[in-house]
């Protein structure tokens, strides 16, 4: 069974748990403030990777651990004690995720040029003596710019009407132009692989993330007359939800990350997938398409030996905006393991004083895959106002369907520390 296109069949209604809000320090900047002060929490305009200067040691595979790794324990065995420590701890997690899960993203190429108009973005890249190009469609909302924007991967599943009605532009990005599906691992194709080689060990999801980052590069260079580079979101559903998750985790210029029904290789914890009835097996997700990096093949049969898991990929987004939308009606999507990832990552958000910046919502009635859902409309609007328009400050909301409710306590043997100081 392959889940990647909307299906007409309706699925059973969800039984849900009571809604719970995550309250934390209010983070907001008054409308009309100088643009340099209006970027969302955790955003440094022009900085794709704030931890690039961190001296992270080379990670090893580690020993088997059936519990989720402690996101607060550094590779040298010491624990994070201050909020300011998180920058370099995130860099360690990034290195682990690249080494064992996604493959190397590669830093900004030697040359990135392009154009931004009210209808399209063009991207031209040159690095290591090789070049490639791709483009994306732009749809502007009504009103006068410059506008925040949401990069929509793949063209389906996202509520683009609500995004535009909320005042944000839609950038329709075809990730298959950057990393093509239907190719063998030793002959990957697309703009990323034209530059870094068809035998690159980097998987498609990271290639897609690299392409989205190059779109942001071009927006930054455009002067900001049409689109705002400091107010960019990303979303996508199914395989493109996997991609949106990677885009937001690996580029700290993304102010709001919104994966939808991402399934295995997306949000669900790798350690939980084998024990979740009906969830797409890790080996299936690894072999269906070269989404994950080649190195992940060593862990499909024993994810307990992975030194990283997806709750830490969630934590890589912190303290920036994150709104996870999940479907509990389709077993293949592994929503129970997805809820554990969100709850585990939320512990990092809370430790950083940003607990109100993460939302998770699987309490939905319509079981169709990649449907536009009424339950998600209001939180979508609230997140766009808060993180892209900077005109709201609604707290994040956790609504877990009782149909697929994970229990974080079963998966961790670590406690969340009280971190000192400022991020």
Answer yes or no: are the C-beta atoms of 311 and 270 closer than 8 Å: no
Give Cα separations from 183 to 164, 189, 204 (angstroms).
34, 7, 10
What would the two tokens of residue 238 be? Answer: 């199914």
Q: What are phi and psi of 120, to 5 degrees?
A: -160, 160
Residue in 132, 238, 339, 356 annotated catalytic: 238
Q: Tell me whether residue 401 is one of the annotated catalytic residues.
A: no
Answer yes or no: are the C-beta atoms of 141 and 168 closer than 8 Å: yes
Q: Tell me whether residue 4 is one of the annotated catalytic residues.
A: no
H/E element holding 248? helix 239-250
Neighbour tally for 277: CB within 10 Å: 7
What would the two tokens of residue 381 be? Answer: 């609007």
Q: Is 164 helix (H, G, I), strand (E, B) or coil?
A: helix
Residue in 4, 106, 311, 369 annotated catalytic: 369
According to DSSP, the residues that pair with 235 across neighbouring strands are: 152, 258
Bridge pairing between strands 254-260 and 169-173: unpaired
Query: What is the rounded CA–CA span in Å between residue 242 and residue 418?
Result: 31
Q: Is 394 exposed, middle or buried (0-12, 13-18, 19+ CB in 10 A)?
A: middle
Q: Which residues of 112-135 are buried (b: 16+ CB within 10 A; e: fewer)?
A: bebebeeeebebbbebeeeebebb
Q: Is 89 helix (H, G, I), strand (E, B) or coil?
A: helix
Query: What is the rounded CA–CA span in Å between residue 19 and residue 409?
Result: 19
What is the distance of C-alpha 250 from the center of its chain?
8
Q: Is 344 helix (H, G, I), strand (E, B) or coil?
A: helix
Catalytic residues: 238, 369
């Amino acid at each position: 069974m392959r889940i990647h296109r909307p299906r007409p069949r309706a699925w059973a209604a969800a039984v849900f748990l009571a809604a719970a809000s995550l309250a934390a320090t209010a983070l907001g900047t008054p409308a009309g403030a100088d643009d340099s002060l209006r970027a969302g929490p955790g955003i440094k305009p022009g900085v794709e990777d704030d931890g690039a200067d961190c001296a992270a040691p080379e990670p090893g595979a580690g020993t088997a651990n059936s519990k989720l790794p402690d996101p607060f324990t550094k590779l040298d065995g010491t624990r994070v004690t201050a909020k300011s420590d998180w920058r370099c701890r995130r860099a360690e997690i990034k290195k682990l995720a690249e080494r064992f899960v996604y493959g190397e993203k590669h830093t900004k190429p030697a040359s990135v040029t392009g154009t931004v108009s009210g209808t399209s973005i063009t991207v031209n890249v040159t690095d290591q003596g090789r070049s490639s190009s791709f483009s994306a469609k732009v749809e502007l909302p009504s009103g006068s710019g410059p506008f925040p924007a949401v990069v929509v991967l793949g063209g389906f599943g996202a509520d683009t009407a609500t995004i535009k009605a909320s005042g944000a532009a839609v950038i329709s990005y075809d990730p298959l132009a950057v990393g093509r599906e239907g190719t063998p691992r030793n002959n990957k194709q697309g703009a990323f692989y034209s530059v870094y080689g068809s035998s690159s060990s980097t998987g498609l999801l990271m290639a897609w993330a690299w392409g989205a980052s190059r779109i942001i590069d071009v927006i930054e260079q455009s002067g900001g007359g049409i689109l705002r580079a400091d107010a960019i979101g990303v979303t996508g559903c199914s395989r493109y939800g996997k991609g949106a998750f990677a885009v937001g985790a690996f580029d700290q210029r993304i102010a709001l990350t919104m994966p939808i029904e991402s399934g295995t290789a997306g949000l669900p914890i790798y350690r939980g997938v084998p024990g979740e009835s009906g969830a797409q097996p890790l080996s299936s997700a690894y072999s269906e398409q070269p989404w994950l990096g080649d190195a992940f093949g060593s862990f499909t049969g024993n994810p307990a030996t992975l030194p990283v898991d997806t709750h830490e990929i969630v934590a890589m987004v912190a303290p920036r905006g994150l709104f996870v939308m999940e479907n509990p009606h389709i077993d293949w999507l592994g929503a129970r393991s997805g809820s554990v990832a969100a709850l585990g990552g939320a512990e990092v958000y809370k430790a950083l004083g940003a607990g109100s910046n993460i939302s998770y919502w699987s309490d939905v009635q319509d079981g169709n895959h990649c449907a536009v859902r009424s339950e998600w409309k209001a939180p979508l609007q609230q997140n766009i106002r808060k993180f892209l328009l900077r005109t709201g400050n609604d707290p994040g909301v956790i609504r877990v369907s009782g149909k697929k409710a994970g229990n974080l306590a079963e998966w961790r043997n670590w406690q969340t520390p009280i971190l000192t100081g400022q991020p």
